[in-house]
C-alpha cells in the first residue's frame, strides 16, 4: 500500500453511461473524485469526500476501500447517485453530454470530517466552485491545494471560480478552458493570466499533445504517451490530476522540479486509464506498470544523454 | 561560417504579401526553399535549386549568398517571381491564402548542377511531388533525403506524393496533413502509416504543440518554445525542416539520437523565425542565440536531473 501524506479529494462520484467508437458501458463507476482518488491512491492514502445515493453498490465501496481510499467522508443520501450520459465520436478530445442527472449531488454540501481537515494535500476535483470554496473554508492550512474546473463553471460561475483561483496553489484546466477563461488563443498567455488570478502554478492539459506546467521559474512541456488506440477518454483529466497530487504527497515535496515529475506521474496514470472503460484498467494496474511507463516517458521526452 | 556536409535544397523562392494580427509586409522575401536554406545555413553550407523572375532583386541574392547559400542552381527566367498573398487571423496555425501567383514557377523544372548531385543531404521543400521526383532522379545516392509537402498535393497529386514517400528517408508533415493523408484522427496511427509508405522516419509538426519524431525504435515528442507573441508564422515549418537537416548535415550523423537533437535545432530556428516578418529575425540571429535557446529547450523538456 502506498505510504505518504494523505490526500483529501472532494468531488463527484458517479455512474457513467459512456459510448465511444470502441464500445460502450452502462452504470459504470465514474466521477472526477473517483478517478482522481484511484489514480492518487497508487502514491498516497486518500480521504474521499463526496456523495452517493442509495443505489451505490457495496462492490464499488469495497473496490475504493481496497485502493487505500478512506470513505468516512463519503455521504450516502436518499435518492439516486449522480449520473452522466455521454459519448465520444471521432475526436476523442471532445465529450458530448447527452444527459447530466445531478440526483443526490444537487443537495451536496461538502462536510470535511475533522480528522481530514489537517490534510496537507487537497484536491478540489471539478465541481461547482461555490462548493470548492466551502471546502477551502473547512480545511486548515494545507501544504498544497489543487483545483480543477470545467467550461460550465467558467461560463456560469466565473466570479466564484476566480475566488477559488485566488485561494489555491495549483490550477488545472484543459486547453479549451484556459483559452475561454482568459479570452486568448495563446496558451502561454493563458497560463500567465491564470497565475495572475492567484495560483503559483498552472497546469494546462492538452490531451494527445501532453501538458504544460507553468510556474514562476519554469515552463515545462510534458509529452503525452503515444497510444494508438484510446478506448475511453473519460476520467483522463481526473486521473492525471490524481497522479500529480499523489506523487507530490507521497514525496512531500512541492518544489518546481518535483512538480515536473508529478506531471509525468499524472500523464502515466492517465495514459493507462484511457486504455479501457471506466476504472477497469486502473483496477489491474501495478506499481511495476507505472514505473515502466514512467521510464518510457523519459525516452519520449529526451533528446540528450540517451544510452 | 558553418562547416559540414553541404545540403541540397530544392523548392520555392517567393515574394510574400502577408498580413497577421501584428502587422503586414509586402513583397517580402519568402518561399519554402529560402526559409529552409537560411535556417539550415546556420549549421551547414547550402546549395539552393529554385527559380526566380527578372524582378528578383540583387539585395536578396546578396543576402542569400552572405548566408552561405550557393546560388549556382537558382534559375532566373523571364517573367515574375512566384508570389504568395495570404493572412493569418486569430488562429496563427491557419494560413489563409488569398492568391498564389505561380509566375515563373509554373514552368520550373529542377536542374541539379552536376557538382550538387553528390550532396549527401537533400531537402525537397514543399513543391509539386512530380518535381520532387525529378530531383530524386537526378541526385546520386544521398545519405539522407527529407521531403515536406502540403494539403494541396495530398488532395491533388496523391499518387506522385506516395511515390516520393517511397523514395525518401524522412517525411515532414504538419498534423492536419498527416491526418488527411492517412484518414485518421490519431497522430500515432498517422505516423506509423506514413512510415509504412516508405520513410524510415516521420516528423509531424504540431505548431504550438511541438513536433513528433517517429522512427522504428523511438517516439520522440519535442516541445515548442513558449512564445507569448508570434508575429508571423510564415516559414515556421520550412525553417524547422531547415534546422533539422542542417544539424544532421553538419554532424554527419543520422542516428536516431541525433535526429532528436536535430528536431530541437529545427524547433529552435523556427521559434526565432516567427518572432518577426519574413526573414528579418533569421537575418540577425547569431550562433550564440541558437545555443542559448537550445539550452532553454532542455529546461522545457526535462523532468529529471535539473540543477
**Cell numbers 528579418 label which residue?**
B280
Share of chain B above pLDDT 90, in %: 93
Angstrom distance (rounded) from CA B163 to CA B167: 7
Residues of chain B contacting A217 with CB distance shorter than 8 Å: none
On the question of pLDDT at A140 being above 70, the answer is yes
Angstrom distance (rounded) from CA B11 to CA B7: 13
B228 vs A186, A228, A261: nearest CB = A186
Mean pLDDT of chain A: 96
- Residue B306 has a pLDDT of 63
Which residues lie closer than 8 Å to A153 by C-beta, 6 or more apart?
Answer: A126, A128, A129, A160, A161
A306 vs B224, B257, B264: nearest CB = B257
Grade residue B1 by pLDDT with cuts at 50, 70 and 90.
low
A-to-B residue pairs, Cβ atoms closer than 8 angstroms = 97
A83-132 per-position pLDDT tens digit? 999 999 988 888 999 999 999 999 999 999 999 999 999 999 999 999 99
Contact B226 A185 (CB under 8 A): no
A163-221 per-position pLDDT tens digit? 999 999 999 999 999 999 999 989 999 999 999 999 999 999 999 999 999 999 889 99
For residue B244, give the nearest of B21, B13, B39, B23 by alpha carbon: B39
For residue A125, give the nearest of A215, A212, A38 by alpha carbon: A38
Grade residue A51 by pLDDT with cuts at 50, 70 and 90.
very high
B227 vs A188, A208, A210: nearest CB = A188
Helices (H), A95-223: 129-138, 151-156, 158-167, 175-182, 187-197
Contact B185 A90 (CB under 8 A): yes
**Is the CB of residue B298 less than 8 Å away from at least one CB of chain A?**
yes
Grade residue A255 by pLDDT with cuts at 50, 70 and 90.
very high
B76-119 per-position pLDDT tens digit? 999 999 999 999 997 888 899 999 999 999 999 999 999 999 99
On the question of pLDDT at B305 being above 90, the answer is no
Which residue from A minimizes the CA distance to B193?
A: A228
Mutation test of the interface with chain A: which of B190, B220, B221, B258, choosing the one with the most A Cβ atoms within 10 A?
B221
In three-state secondary structure terms, B296 is: helix
Grade residue B182 by pLDDT with cuts at 50, 70 and 90.
very high
Length of chain A: 307
On the question of pLDDT at A263 being above 60, the answer is yes
Share of chain A above pLDDT 90, in %: 93
Which residue from A minimizes the CA distance to B222?
A: A301
Give Cα separations from B6 to A186, B43, B116 (angstroms): 37, 9, 9
As a whole number, mean pLDDT of residues B227-248 equals 96
In chain B, residues 177-206 whose CB comes closer than 8 Å to chain A: 185-189, 192, 206
Which residue from B minimizes the CA distance to A224?
A: B221
Whole-structure pTM value? 0.95
A146-163 per-position pLDDT tens digit? 999 999 999 999 999 999
**Taking every pair of C-alpha atoms in chain A, what is the biggest distance, in angstroms?**
59
Helices (H), B15-123: 32-40, 58-66
What nine digits make up the cell of A196? 495572475
- Residue B93 has a pLDDT of 83
Burial class (CB in 10 A: 0-12, 13-18, 19+), B256: middle
Min distance B220 CA to chain A CA atoms (Å): 5
As a whole number, mean pLDDT of residues B275-294 equals 98
Mean pLDDT of chain B: 96
Which residue from A minimizes the CA distance to B306?
A: A257
On the question of pLDDT at A288 being above 60, the answer is yes
Task: Write phi, then psi, for B249 (nearest 5 degrees).
Answer: -70, -40
- Residue B285 has a pLDDT of 98
Angstrom distance (rounded) from CA A36 to CA B129: 49
Mutation test of the interface with chain B: which of A185, A265, A303, choosing the one with the most B Cβ atoms within 10 A?
A303
Q: So what's the ipTM on this one? A: 0.92
Give Cα separations from A284 to A39, A93, A276 (angstroms): 12, 25, 11
- Residue A2 has a pLDDT of 60
Grade residue B2 by pLDDT with cuts at 50, 70 and 90.
low
- Residue B307 has a pLDDT of 46
Which residues lie closer than 8 Å to B132 by C-beta, 6 or more apart?
Answer: B10, B124, B147, B160, B164
- Residue A116 has a pLDDT of 96
Give Cα separations from B217 to B146, B170, B193, B220 (angstroms): 19, 14, 15, 10
On the question of pLDDT at B73 being above 90, the answer is yes
Residues of chain B contacting A304 with CB distance shorter than 8 Å: 260-261, 298
B300 vs A221, A229, A298: nearest CB = A221
Provide, for chain B, the percentages of residues in helix, strand and coil under a 3-state DSSP scheme, each rounded to the nearest 5.
40, 25, 35
- Residue B194 has a pLDDT of 98
B261 vs A206, A264, A303: nearest CB = A303
Amino acid at each position: 500500500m502506498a505510504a505518504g501524506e494523505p490526500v483529501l479529494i472532494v468531488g463527484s462520484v458517479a455512474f457513467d453511461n459512456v459510448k465511444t467508437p470502441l464500445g460502450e458501458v452502462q452504470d459504470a463507476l465514474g466521477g472526477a473524485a473517483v478517478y482522481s482518488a484511484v489514480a492518487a491512491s497508487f502514491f498516497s492514502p486518500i480521504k474521499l469526500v463526496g456523495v452517493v445515493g442509495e443505489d451505490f453498490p457495496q462492490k464499488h465501496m469495497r473496490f475504493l476501500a481496497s485502493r487505500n481510499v478512506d470513505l468516512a467522508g463519503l455521504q450516502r443520501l436518499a435518492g439516486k447517485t449522480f449520473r452522466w450520459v455521454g459519448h465520444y465520436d471521432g475526436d476523442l478530445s471532445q465529450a458530448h453530454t447527452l444527459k447530466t442527472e445531478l440526483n443526490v449531488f444537487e443537495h451536496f454540501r461538502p462536510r470535511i470530517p475533522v480528522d481530514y481537515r489537517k490534510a496537507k494535500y487537497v484536491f478540489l476535483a471539478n465541481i461547482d466552485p461555490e462548493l470548492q470554496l466551502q471546502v477551502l473554508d473547512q480545511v486548515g492550512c494545507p501544504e498544497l491545494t489543487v483545483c480543477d474546473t470545467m467550461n460550465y463553471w467558467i461560463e456560469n460561475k466565473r466570479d466564484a471560480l476566480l475566488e477559488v483561483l485566488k485561494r489555491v496553489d495549483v490550477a488545472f484546466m484543459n486547453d479549451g478552458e484556459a483559452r475561454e477563461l482568459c479570452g486568448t488563443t495563446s496558451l502561454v498567455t493563458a497560463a500567465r493570466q491564470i497565475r495572475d488570478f492567484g495560483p503559483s502554478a498552472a497546469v494546462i492539459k492538452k490531451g494527445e499533445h501532453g501538458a504544460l506546467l507553468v510556474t514562476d521559474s519554469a515552463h515545462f512541456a510534458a509529452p503525452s504517451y503515444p497510444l494508438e488506440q484510446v478506448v475511453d477518454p473519460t476520467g483522463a483529466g481526473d486521473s492525471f490530476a490524481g497522479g500529480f497530487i499523489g506523487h507530490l504527497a507521497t514525496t512531500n515535496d512541492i518544489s518546481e522540479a518535483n512538480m515536473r515529475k508529478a506531471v509525468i506521474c499524472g500523464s502515466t496514470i492517465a495514459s493507462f486509464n484511457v486504455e479501457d472503460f471506466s476504472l477497469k484498467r486502473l483496477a489491474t494496474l501495478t506499481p511495476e506498470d507505472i514505473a515502466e511507463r514512467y521510464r518510457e516517458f523519459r525516452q519520449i521526452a529526451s533528446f540528450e544523454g540517451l544510452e
